[in-house]
Amino acid sequence: MSSVDMYMLYHGLMLPKETHSAESLKFAQEFTFKDDDVAVAVYPKSGTIWMQEILPLVLNGGDLTPIQSIPNWDRVPWLEERRLALVVDKLDSPRGLVTHFPYHLMPPSFHASKAKVIYVMRNPKDVMVSSYHFHRMAQFLETPATLDDFMEKFLEGKVLFGKWTDHMKSWRGSDLGDRIMHITYEEMVQDLPAALRRMSDFLGRNLSEEVIQKIAEHCSFETMKNNNMSNFSLVPKMYMNSDTSPFLRKGIVGDWKNHFSPKQLNRFTSVICKEMEGEIFSLPWSMDSSLTGAEGEKLEI
Ligand code: PPS
């Protein structure tokens, strides 16, 4: 299949036709957000599936039923994908949704509502590596020729949902005040219970330490890898070939170091740093060109 057959363009962003359509995007724009809805906004490969596991448990006080009985794509559906129209009436309130939309594509009802949003951000180097492997396994995405080739596409924004920097800047620059919480994938890897406590406070849940620990255990990489409702084993291999690369692949911080050459690292770093020029906030990861830097050990946001 050629890339023309695989992707559609929506406001300049490439979206896979397998999961998106003109109808699904219209449905998203006309979707009515309720005040108690919670959205997770996330650039692809930055922790979407993880939040589809976490959010229902934080909202319902640790009842495992949804993560043990509903596939992740129906449990906390994507705002922009085809499935939403099919499952929207079955969602329990407070509803959880995920979206890869940049801020400016959120529908009017989102802005009119008091719905809260958690923005999850991941080091773009690890996002790029995760995305590269995902493109190798997902049969509805163009298989990358080489990592070098894929990196250029990523830096130019010729990948799903456009440029990482545009996405991140759009949500960082949002005027949502206390309706938005920012967290990084790295913070979640480093101390998941602490991340869960922040989410619980933000969402006005008063979760006990016992419940926090229970959620952390059930949302660990290893537990999720064995959860058929979350590991995409329900998806036929003709769509996602886990023999090539599993969806829950490594779940670590800094895998880019196993993939980038010094030349690639220089190129990647210089493009991202240039795009960050003039921004009032800085990225919480070291963006220097060292392959041995202690990235991820100290995080600030
Ligand atoms: S997608 O396709 O956009 O929905 O992908 P997304 O879910 O955003 O990102 C997939 C990466 O998230 C990792 N992941 C986790 N890491 C740590 N702990 C847990 N519990 C977890 N769940 C998912 C997943 O392994 C992908 O990262 P990589 O680096 O490829 O392993």
Which residue among 14, 19, 48, 50 has the greatest number of ligand 1 atoms within 8 angstroms of its CB, and so is best to mutate?
A: 50
Which residue among 221, 239, 242 has the greatest number of ligand 1 atoms within 8 angstroms of its CB, and so is best to mutate?
A: 221
- Counting from 1 in the atom list of ligand 1, the atom nearest the Cα of 250 is 31
CATH topology assigned to domain 3-122+159-237: Rossmann fold (3.40.50)
Per-residue pLDDT of 25-49, as tens digits, reads 999 999 999 999 999 999 999 999 9
Q: Is 298 exposed, middle or buried (0-12, 13-18, 19+ CB in 10 A)?
A: exposed
Question: From ligand 1's centre to the CA of 80, what distance in Å?
Answer: 19
Is residue 299 scored above 80 in pLDDT? no
- Site residues for ligand 1, CB cut-off 6 Å: 42, 44-50, 126, 130, 133-134, 189, 219-221, 224, 248-251, 255
Is residue 289 scored above 70 in pLDDT? no
Element (H, E) at 170: helix 164-172
Q: Residue 4 — very low, low, confident or very high, per pLDDT cuts 50/70/90?
A: confident
**Euclidean distance between CA atoms 211 and 216, whole angstroms:** 9
Is residue 274 scored above 90 in pLDDT? yes
Per-residue pLDDT of 62-105, as tens digits, reads 999 999 999 999 999 999 999 999 999 999 999 999 999 999 99
- 259 in catalytic set: no
Is residue 290 scored above 70 in pLDDT? no
Q: What is the mean pLDDT of residues 184-198?
A: 98
Measured at the alpha carbon of residue 42, what is the angle toward residues 44 and 131, in degrees to the nearest 5? 15
Which one of 20, 100, 133, 135 is the catalytic residue? 100
Q: Where are the domains of the chain?
A: 3-122+159-237
Percent of the chain residues topping a pLDDT of 70: 95
Place of tokens 């990225």: 283
Per-residue pLDDT of 129-171, as tens digits, reads 999 999 999 999 999 999 999 999 999 999 999 999 999 999 9
Q: How would you classify the pairing of strands 180-184 and 116-121?
A: parallel
Per-residue pLDDT of 46-64, as tens digits, reads 999 999 999 999 999 999 9
Q: Is 127 exposed, middle or buried (0-12, 13-18, 19+ CB in 10 A)?
A: buried
Question: From ligand 1's centre to the CA of 126, what distance in Å?
Answer: 10
Which one-letter DSSP state was computed for residue 160?
B
Torsional class of 281: left (φ above 0), alpha (ψ -120 to 50), beta (otherwise): beta
User: What is the reported pLDDT for 293?
Assistant: 46
Q: Residue 24 — very low, low, confident or very high, per pLDDT cuts 50/70/90?
A: very high
Q: Are 67 and 49 in contact (CB under 8 A)?
A: no
User: What is the reported pLDDT for 73?
Assistant: 98
The b-or-e profile of 149-188 (16+ CB within 10 A means b, else e) is: ebbebbbebebbbbbbbbbbbbbbebebeebbbbbbbbbb
| 96 bridge partner residues | 38
| Structure tokens belonging to residue 212 | 């926090």
